[in-house]
Structure 1
Amino acid sequence: MKQILGFDYLLTPKVMVFLYWIFMVLIVVGGIFSMFNGQLIAGFFGTIFSLIGCRVMFELIMIAFKNNEYLRRIAENSDKAAQ
């Protein structure tokens, strides 16, 4: 409990993964809906490009959290080396 309250453990990356999968499902459902409404080619390519774009955007956001994790590891290792 202390880790969560003291911000030692980041909750946002877990939430981001959940949101990522929700957006992926919504994109696929929207693409299928578009394809059944007579826009087969636009729906297909729109779905593909939207899935790729969504993945890239979420990866860019997650880089900030990964950088924080790596900096924490470096700090922990430098503290151990200093002792």
Structure 2
Amino acid sequence: MRNIFFFDAMLTPKIITVVYWLLLASAFIGGLTTMFFGYNSNFIYGVALTIAGCIGARIWCELLIVLFKINSNLQKLADKVEQ
């Protein structure tokens, strides 16, 4: 618990996984809604929206995780230099 309060451990990477699943669910539900209940019930647009939403969510979450991995690796390098 001390690590979280003094920012020695990062909490956000754990949260990003939950956010990713929520984004996937919302992309899927949004696509289904567009396919069957949308303004014109455009099936092709709904499929495209689902695919683009899933890919976009994955890319966004991966970019955030990469930032935290860079931070982790830089911290390891700084710890080696201190020794």
Comparing both chains, which one has the higher relative contact order based on Cα–Cα distances under 8 Å and sequence gaps of 6 or more? 2
Instruction: Please state if 1:7 is matched with 2:4.
Output: no
Question: What are the Cα deviations for residues 17-70 of structure 1, in whole angstroms up to 9, with x where unaligned?
Answer: 111111110110111111113211000011101111121112122221111111
Q: 47, 53, 75: which one pairs with 1:72? A: 75
Q: 53, 56, 59: which one pairs with 1:53? A: 56
| Ranges in structure 2 where 5+ consecutive residues have no aligned partner | none
TM-score, normalised with respect to structure 2: 0.84
| Ranges in structure 1 where 5+ consecutive residues have no aligned partner | none
Q: 24, 42, 57: which one pairs with 1:39? A: 42
Aligned letter for 1:67?
Answer: I
Moved over 2 A (4+): 76-79
SS of residue paired to 1:8: coil
The Cα of 1:72 is off from its aligned counterpart by: 1.1
Aligned letter for 2:44?
Answer: I
TM-score, normalised with respect to structure 1: 0.84
Number of aligned residue pairs: 80
% identical equivalent positions: 35
Distance 1:45 1:5 in 2: 42
